[in-house]
Amino acid sequence: MTPNQPPNQPAGPPQLTELGFYTLAGHSSAPRDLVDEVRAAEDLGIGAAFISERFSTKDAAILSGAAGAVSTSIGIATGATNHNTRHPIVTATMAATMHRLTGGRFALGLGRGFDRLFQALGLKPITGAQIEDFVGVLRRLWHGEMVLGHDGPAGAWPYLHQDADFDEDIPVMLAALGPRSLELAGRCLDGVILHTFYSDAAVREALAAVARGAKAADRDPASVRVWSVLATVSDEVPDDRRLLKTAGRLGSYLQGYGDLMVRVNDWDPAVLARFRADEVVTSIKGGIDAKATTAQLEHIATLIPPEWLATAATGGPEQCAQAVARQFDLGVTGVIMHGATPAELTPVVRAYRDIRPAGLSGLPANPGRAA
């Protein structure tokens, strides 16, 4: 099998290449859990595994390699890593290795990250110009070019080269929230990963921004794969875990970049101000989804309006499956069921198969490809 050929379909139910999940979703101190999660997702027929990164025990490169080694058909994507935390030759090599290791199932997902964290680490905040420049360098390297004397927004490097025989077509995606990042993705990237807790209106606005960027670059908007990210937490998940995966997860996002979440969703900024000023919230040293107790989460849930949490898929497995299916009515080409393990998603996926929208069976296994 060459890297650009489709992978072998495993025995079992047909692969749902329009569905993905986040392995090790949120905070995890047990990275080996990924091995069982990826195998279980592949057996269930989930089409793609997305791998996020935290600077503790979630290194995206290592976890991607592990996912590739224990799977045969599921797509794999970093969702996301940052270009400024590794030298470009290291990132290029990681992606090329994953491309060959998986037979073409890997997509490199990049993101903007957190400005305050990068400043604290002594790194420059990421800009759209840096991402565009960096991706251009990667694509040149993957097609065998020697890059000499590069000096651009992403950095200055006297010499970059991998292999003169390379002719690797590796999709690059962008985890994007705001309109400028989404337009950038439409202009020059292969796929987009939206954000959890987006309202339907926010998803439509995001798709419009991607389309604007694509059209400005004379690209077909349909050539850009767009994944919505839907918190999917059915009633079969224990109460304390549901609380963590809904109020806890949204609370963590409000801690980190609440202003952008509020702006994108047209939520009331006064609610965010009250949330940030709350004594329980300010007492938590670290991410709410990683550090809060159940009692603290119960309090935090009272600070978040029900309509904000209603952007998640909740209820019975059939209700969750219907919420997943409705995402495609908005125009996305993939749905990442976020915040749940394959075991927790099993009844939802089984219910989804009964109502699967028409026209989705031809999507590629690689999550960064639209066709």
Instruction: Annotate 100-146 with three-state secondary structure.
Output: HHCCCCEEEEEECCCHHHHHHCCCCCCCHHHHHHHHHHHHHHHCCCC
Strands 147-152 and 155-160: antiparallel
User: Tens digit of pLDDT for each residue in 1-11?
Assistant: 344 444 555 56
**Predicted local distance difference test score (pLDDT) of residue 114:** 84
pLDDT mean over 314-327? 98
Q: Position 370: which residue type? A: A
pLDDT at site 9? 56
Whether 93 is in a domain gets the answer yes
Residue 32 maps to a domain: yes
pLDDT reported for residue 2: 42
Is 254 found in the same domain as 341?
Answer: no
- Residue 63, pLDDT > 90, answer yes
The domain boundary residue, chosen from 288, 312, 336: 312
pLDDT band at 74; cut points 50, 70, 90: very high
Give tens-digit pLDDT for 204-239: 999 999 999 999 999 999 999 999 999 999 999 999
pLDDT band at 25 (very low <50, low <70, confident <90, very high): confident
pLDDT of residue 370: 96
| Residues 91 and 111 sit within 8 Å (Cβ to Cβ) | no
In contact, 107 and 170? CB cutoff 8 Å = yes
pTM of the shown model? 0.95
**Cα separation, 64 vs 2, whole angstroms:** 19
pLDDT at 140: 98
pLDDT in tens, 258-313: 999 999 999 999 999 999 999 999 999 999 999 999 999 999 999 999 999 999 99
User: Is 289 within the bounds of a domain?
Assistant: yes
Please state the rounded mean pLDDT for residues 167-192. 97
Q: Are residues 192 and 166 part of one domain?
A: yes
Q: Is residue 366 part of a domain?
A: no
pLDDT value for 6:
43
- 183 and 262 assigned to the same domain: no
**Higher per-residue confidence, 145 vs 29:** 145
Q: Please, which pLDDT band fits residue 79 given cuts at 50, 70 and 90? A: very high
Is pLDDT above 50 for 168?
yes
With pLDDT > 70 as the criterion, what percentage of the chain qualifies? 97
- Please give the C-alpha separations between residue 362 and each of 14, 228, 350, 370, in angstroms, as whole numbers: 12, 18, 19, 10
Region 356-362: mean pLDDT is: 93
Residue 61 backbone dihedrals phi, psi, to 5 degrees: -65, -50
The DSSP element (H or E) to which 354 belongs, if any, is helix 342-355
In a domain, 2, yes or no: no
Question: Which helix (H) or strand (E) element contains residue 338?
Answer: strand 334-338
For the segment 322-342, the average pLDDT, to the nearest whole number, is: 97
Question: How much is the average pLDDT of 314-336?
Answer: 98
Are residues 161 and 257 located together in one domain of the fold? no
The phi-psi region of residue 149 (left if phi > 0; otherwise alpha if psi is between -120 and 50; otherwise beta) is: left
Number of domain units in the chain: 2
**Residue 337 and residue 268 share a domain:** no
Same domain, 36 and 185: yes
The reply to whether 102 and 242 lie within a common domain is no
For residue 88, being part of any structural domain is answered with: yes
- Return the half-sphere exposure (C-beta side, CA atoms, 13 A cut-off) of residue 16: 28
Give yes or no: residues 274 and 336 share one domain: no
Q: Please tell me whether residues 61 and 137 are part of one structural domain.
A: yes
pLDDT at 7: 52
What secondary structure does DSSP assign to 162-173, as a single string? --TT------EE
Same domain, 23 and 117: yes
Same domain assignment for residues 43 and 142: yes
Specify whether 231 is located in the same domain as 241.
no
Residue 71's CATH number: 3.20.20.30
Each residue's pLDDT tens digit, 106-155: 999 999 998 888 999 999 999 999 999 999 999 999 999 999 999 999 99
Confidence of residue 72 (pLDDT cuts 50, 70, 90): very high
Rounded Cα–Cα distance for residues 166 and 277 (Å): 53
151 DSSP β-pair partners: 156
The mean pLDDT of the chain is: 95
> Do the domain assignments include residue 362?
no
pLDDT, residue 21, reads: 98
Q: Which residue segment(s) compose the domain that 249 sits in?
A: 237-312
What's the CA gap between 296 and 225, in Å, rounded?
A: 38
Q: How far apart are CA 310 and CA 321, in angstroms?
A: 15
Q: Is residue 3 part of a domain?
A: no
